[in-house]
Structure 1
Amino acid sequence: MADFGVDAEAGELGFAPDRLARIDRYFRPYVDDGRLPGWLITVSRAGHVVHLSTYGLRDLTSGRPVEVDTLWRWYSMTKPVTSVAAMMLYEEGALQLTDPVERFIPSFADLRVFTGGSDLRPVTEPAARPMTVWNLLTHTSGLTYGFMRAHPVDAMLRARGFEWGQPSGYTLADSCDAWAEIPLLFQPGAEWNYSLSTDVLGRVVEVASGQSLDAFFRTRIFEPLGMTETGFHVSEEGADRLASLYTPAARGGLAPSGSMGQALTARPSYLSGGGGLMGPAADYHRLMEMLRGRGAAGGVRLLGSRTVDHMTRNQLPGGADLESFGRRLFSETPFDGTGFGLGFSVVTDPVALRGLASKGEYGWGGAASTAFWVDPAEDITVSFFTQLLPSSTYPIRPYLRGLVRQALVD
């Protein structure tokens, strides 16, 4: 990790150094007053890191500080990795975006859709069309999350043991078969809803490739890009570098998150393509650089340039944004002026977004308040790492976006 740091003068790449310094000045009080344990921020342009800062602690009990090599739970920032994997297989002809999911997961052949009733007495109808790989990539599958707590189907998931995790001992294949027995929120393709779609996509990757998800990630993505410390668990020797996970305490400050914060030092039975990875900021930077490079970084190409261009276009019907096509529940992005591509949110209208942004900027966030984005128009990548559940606790992301943008002066 010694090679990861600022490697260019900010002024030479269009940033005012004094304005970049505002980022740290703004976020330090989040730690000082107990809202966050600590954080790490990166800002890069044209492939060069112009700002990398850390502040606070990765563990409040021991007093260990956030360092450049701190390991973070990525949660839903895992989703772009799974989406990249699926599109690599698409490029190789192993799958088509129009393929029914049942081609890879037979239990998805006879899906039903919730039309009324309750979680205990649901009224359903058959799915009018198959769920496709494209539906999984765009979160238009009709699936949901148990933690949403907004619909009877969410309650049905929780009753089966699927809220923030899965029943003990379940594999990804087991989980997919269980989800197929639960009705969908809506007909596939009819709406957008943040969901377990990318976890199901991870199973599609396994079946289409003939490899376990961790093996595919390691051999096809992580090793080629040099993401040497990313995985579904950490090593015994790396466990003390993993930042502790916190939630807001009832009377202010922070409380340990409990079982979700335990350091996984052995391969889990369930490999979550929707939220299971952990690793250092340097590794995620390499992933962002591959995306910024339209599929290539460091002399390694994972995807064709046109594939990345397609993934990062708004795919919602008629160019709709999430406000008009999505269920306004939980998401890792604003709904106004934001569409969705194949694994990423995509800014469609910066004015409607009500914030400084570029049309075509894409990215995502994670449940522990992490975030990243890539801006092709400005040739910028940005990442923010901390460990606070849930990500909706504080509006970190819009402030970060504005603070990075105001520092551009070229």
Structure 2
Amino acid sequence: MMQTKAPEKHGLDRARLDRLAPFLKERYLDTGKLPHAQLLVSRNGEIVHFSSQGAAREGSDKPIDEGSIFRIASMTKPITSVAFMMLVEQGLVALDTPVHDVLPEFRDVGVYNGGGAGVPFVTRPVDAPMRMLDLLRHTSGLTYGFQNRGNVDAAYRAGKTNAGPPENWHGEADLDAFVGDLARLPLEFSPGEAWNYSESTDVLGAVVQRVSGVPLDRYFAEKIFAPLRMHDTGFSVPADKADRLTDCYAWAGPSLGRVMYDRAESSMWLRRPRLLSGGGGLVSTTLDYHRFCLMLANGGELDGARLLGRKTLDLMTMNHLPGKSDLSSLSRSLFSETTNAGVGFGLGFAVTEDVSRAMIPGSAGEFYWGGMFTTAFFVDPVEKLHMVFMTQLSPSLLYPIRRELKTLIYSSLT
């Protein structure tokens, strides 16, 4: 365990905070549910808990440590959203800008009205144009192919029009080709009508690339990672850091259990992908993502480097769902990185609106997200508290570990 500040100084009960590592070990590591677990808790800008447990790679006794690199999947989305809002602050684009103004491929997109599965799609015109706001809050009408709900999802899978799973990131399509393929398929609903977890943030990454005029990975590296000193974050792992990448697993059902999904020594993330996925493509470390959370908690600035203005962060962490509704009433998604009741959605984050309806300890105004490999973070501006959790197991909703960790962490507050 790395050196941390005394929790008592920050209004935390040490004995309760010390329950976190044994809880993870006994419930998730000793039972084989998770391969490893790394947890960071910060309060008032200082790390008060950091624990690492479990082997980094199959067949090796080397444990994960503070240098371990993890695939953060959809925890990429908040970074892409910040990148976009940096362009908004420069006056280069706005939340109400129609997406087709930057990506003309979407100018004639229609809404699904029948057909598919071997029959040509029937579409109707959209009731309102897709705006940048819709990409940020997942009300665009786009979807994910892995949702397996209907003919549009099936068309995503058949055409490999997914920004994920990661096998597609190393295919023939780059961001421009991806946008062109996606825009030829109908939307599931008219923009602004509902919420559906989707490839919206991948499209937003294409917007960032076109508006900035530089490749998305370069924009991230120069405008976000370098200023925040997130030196171990990117779309691939360089050769001199390859030994720090952890194995990644997937749940294959009760009979097979946990199986290898992406072996570190031959990982897809050891080479630059053609499709730079702003929705799920990054690798990072717990300490790097901690710095990203510190920037968010500090109102857009960290150690003299300001990425965003304070009021822009305030705007991002408000509930932007139509009618100020929550996901339980607006969501059409079968998959999400959040529970729904009492939870709104901002510009890149889920936002807790009603703690009693969410039924998990927390604060109104906290914001958070997670990734398909069970990684997670939350930032609570009221308590000046944030968490970063890393492991590597898909799918993310297999175990209630995020809810459990959050409950244990909040129980430590005095």
When the two structures are superposed, what TM-score results if normalisation uses the length of structure 2?
0.95
SS of equivalent to 1:202: helix
Q: Which moved more, 1:334-343 or 1:5-14?
A: 5-14
CA contact (8 A) 2:147 2:333 kept: no
1:159 corresponds in structure 2 to: 158
Give the superposition deviation at 1:66: 1.0
1:317 corresponds in structure 2 to: 322
CA distance in 2, matches of 1:252, 1:146: 24
2:125 corresponds in structure 1 to: 126
Q: Give CA-to-partner distance per residue, 1:301-335, whole Å, 9 cap, x none.
A: 10000000010010012210000111141000111
2:58 corresponds in structure 1 to: 60
CA distance in 1, matches of 2:61, 2:239: 20
CA contact (8 A) 2:38 2:52 kept: yes
CA contact (8 A) 1:34 1:253 kept: no
Cα distance change, pair 172–328 in 1 and its aligned pair in 2 (3 A): closer
Quick one: which amino acid aligns to residue 296 of structure 1? E
Give the superposition deviation at 1:287: 0.3
Quick one: which amino acid aligns to residue 31 of structure 1? L
Give the superposition deviation at 1:26: 1.3
CA distance in 1, matches of 2:262, 2:390: 20
Give the superposition deviation at 1:14: 0.6
CA contact (8 A) 1:234 1:263 kept: no
SS of equivalent to 2:22: helix
1:282 aligns with 2:281: no
2:229 corresponds in structure 1 to: 226
1:82 aligns with 2:87: no
CA distance in 1, matches of 2:148, 2:263: 20
2:143 corresponds in structure 1 to: 144
CA distance in 1, matches of 2:262, 2:392: 13
CA contact (8 A) 1:35 1:248 kept: no
CA distance in 1, matches of 2:181, 2:3: 47
CA contact (8 A) 1:135 1:141 kept: yes
CA distance in 1, matches of 2:258, 2:62: 16
1:248 corresponds in structure 2 to: 251
Give the superposition deviation at 1:119: 3.4
Q: Give CA-to-partner distance per residue, 1:145-183, whole Å, 9 cap, x none.
A: 011111211100000013524371210111011000010
1:371 aligns with 2:376: yes
Give the superposition deviation at 1:56: 0.7
SS of equivalent to 2:40: strand
Quick one: which amino acid aligns to residue 151 of structure 2? P
Quick one: which amino acid aligns to residue 397 of structure 1? R
CA contact (8 A) 2:247 2:262 kept: no
Quick one: which amino acid aligns to residue 197 of structure 1? S
2:93 corresponds in structure 1 to: 95
Matches within 5 A, 1:6-405: 6-29=3-26, 30-121=28-119, 122-163=121-162, 164-165=165-166, 166=168, 168-250=171-253, 251=255, 253-258=257-262, 262-405=267-410
SS of equivalent to 2:239: coil
Give the superposition deviation at 1:5: 4.2
SS of equivalent to 2:105: helix
Quick one: which amino acid aligns to residue 258 of structure 2? L
Quick one: which amino acid aligns to residue 16 of structure 1? D
SS of equivalent to 1:223: helix
Quick one: which amino acid aligns to residue 145 of structure 2? G
SS of equivalent to 2:404: helix
SS of equivalent to 1:271: coil
Q: Where does structure 1 lack aligned partners over 5 or more consecutive residues? A: none
CA distance in 2, matches of 1:253, 1:154: 27
Q: Which moved more, 1:335-344 or 1:321-330?
A: 321-330
Q: Give CA-to-partner distance per residue, 1:242-276, whole Å, 9 cap, x none.
A: 11110124425421015898242232111000001
Q: Where does structure 2 lack aligned partners over 5 or more consecutive residues? A: none
Quick one: which amino acid aligns to residue 141 of structure 2? G
CA distance in 1, matches of 2:144, 2:407: 30
Q: Give CA-to-partner distance per residue, 1:39-72, whole Å, 9 cap, x none.
A: 1000000100000001111212233311111000
Q: Give CA-to-partner distance per residue, 1:268-292, whole Å, 9 cap, x none.
A: 1110000011011111001000000
Q: Tell me which stretches of 4 or more aligned residues in structure 1 moved more than 6 Å.
A: none
Q: Which moved more, 1:233-242 or 1:378-387?
A: 233-242
Give the superposition deviation at 1:340: 0.1
CA contact (8 A) 2:248 2:263 kept: no
Quick one: which amino acid aligns to residue 123 of structure 1? V
Quick one: which amino acid aligns to residue 147 of structure 1? F
Identity of aligned residues (%): 44
Q: Which moved more, 1:26-35 or 1:162-171?
A: 162-171
Quick one: which amino acid aligns to residue 44 of structure 2? A
CA distance in 1, matches of 2:146, 2:408: 31
CA distance in 1, matches of 2:333, 2:274: 32
Matched residue count: 406
Give the superposition deviation at 1:116: 2.8
Give the superposition deviation at 1:126: 1.8
CA contact (8 A) 1:328 1:335 kept: no
Quick one: which amino acid aligns to residue 224 of structure 2? I
CA distance in 1, matches of 2:43, 2:103: 41
SS of equivalent to 1:217: helix
CA distance in 2, matches of 1:313, 1:381: 18
CA contact (8 A) 1:239 1:263 kept: no
When the two structures are superposed, what TM-score results if normalisation uses the length of structure 1?
0.96
SS of equivalent to 1:55: strand
